[in-house]
Amino acid sequence: MWFKNLHLFRLTEPFTQSAVELRESLEKQRFQPCSPQEPERWGWTNPVGGHDDLLLEQNGRLMIAAHKEEKILPASVVNEHLAERLEALQEKQQRRPRKAEREALKEEVLFELRPRAFSRRSTFHAYLNPRSGWLIINSASQKNAEALTELLRKSLGSLPIASPVLTNPPGTVMTHWLSDDSQPPEFTLEEECELHSPQENGGIVRCRQQPLSDPEIQGHLQAGKTVVKLSLNWRDRFSFVLDDEFSIKRLRFLELLQDKRDEIETDDDPLLNFEADFKLMSGELEKLLKELLEAFGDEANSLA
């Protein structure tokens, strides 16, 4: 359950639903499998395996989980069936099929194959903290994060959220950090970055496992490239990659937090383990986010 890739949203209005009301809202969109012709379906599932409750509440924080089922049809299979149909139509009418006919035949092929398609299922956790104004989604994909917010909006009727608007653009600030090692003391630069040229069709430089103070990297900065991704360590608790859209990737919980987690007694109960992880993770994440926001001059669109 430990989150690894964070998409961050801010509440732009107070969240007023109680936990009881939120459960009722989620229940309306409880996950149901795809029908034979549906290419994809989303719905809410239990955040903790083996439990039926769609909501886990802890210390005011609300954990939810969206389940996604998608039908997988290999392009090679679709193209093979489509080619056969197109060839038959061309032989029958002695002409090359028109664009509209090709598209209609493709839809026909998809309609016939979809009931036999493989299903792939994925679960995406998120949590909402009405007091601090955060909605945090664990997903490496922007598309899936947006699908989860749409599902939540559909369940609630409205969802007034926005990406954090920072006083100082992250890319600009991180470029200064990398240029002169001026990051706040609670953050340490690690050994990964991605630099882009501001010019159209300009160069891209990706570095891994390389000291970022190397003259080669500094030369790229002096040539005008700016940081779009930078690996950081926060207080020896987390390491992560921050991008210029203020998304966090490849979040790792370091030894200090792992030791802290090991000290919590849970008696190997899955629910107690999940709750302990949630409590530790959410508390530390929000401390990290608070100091990240301060490092970028704070924000303009939060309620916190």
Q: What is the pLDDT of residue 137?
A: 98
pLDDT at 304 over 70: no
Q: Which residue has the tokens 């530790």?
A: 280
Residue 95 has pLDDT above 80, yes or no: yes
Note whether 243 and 249 are within 8 A (CB).
yes
3-state helix, strand, coil in the chain (%, to 5): 40, 30, 35
| Total count of residues recorded for the chain | 304
Q: What pLDDT, in 10s, does the model give residues 21-72?
A: 999 999 999 999 988 888 899 999 999 977 889 999 998 999 999 999 998 8
Place of tokens 């769609």: 54
Quick: pLDDT tens for 6-18: 999 999 999 999 9
Q: Where are the alpha helices (DSSP H) in 140-269?
A: 142-156, 170-180, 215-222, 255-262
Instruction: Among 34-43, 76-85, 183-192, 212-221, name the one with the lowest average pLDDT.
Output: 76-85
Residue 145 · residue 88 · CB < 8 Å? no
Query: What are the tokens at 80?
Result: 């093979």
What crossing angle do the helices spanning 170-180 and 215-222 adopt, rounded to 10°?
A: 130
Q: Is 98's pLDDT higher than 90?
A: no
pLDDT at 302: 53
Query: Out of 24-28, 39-43, 167-171, 297-301, which region has the weakest mean confidence (pLDDT)?
Result: 297-301
Q: Which two tokens stand for residue 239?
A: 């390491």
Given a contact cutoff of 8 angstroms between Cβ atoms, the answer to whether 64 and 26 are in contact is yes
pLDDT tens per residue, range 76-94: 877 887 888 888 777 888 8
Domain spans, the chain: 6-73+116-162, 76-114, 170-295
Report pLDDT digits (tens) over 103-151: 888 887 778 777 777 788 999 999 999 999 999 999 999 999 999 999 9
**pLDDT at position 191:** 93
- Calculate mean pLDDT across residues 260-280: 85
Average pLDDT of the chain?
90
Question: Which pLDDT band, with edges at 50, 70 and 90, does 300 fall under?
Answer: low
pLDDT at res. 22: 96
Q: Are 191 and 233 in contact (CB under 8 A)?
A: no
Mean pLDDT is highest, among 29-33, 261-265, 294-298, for 29-33
Mean pLDDT along residues 158-162: 95
The C-alpha angle with vertex 279 and arms to 191 and 282, in degrees rounded to 5, equals: 45
pLDDT computed for residue 101 by the predictor: 81
Q: How far is CA 24 from CA 20, 27, 55, 116, 200, in A?
A: 6, 5, 10, 34, 50
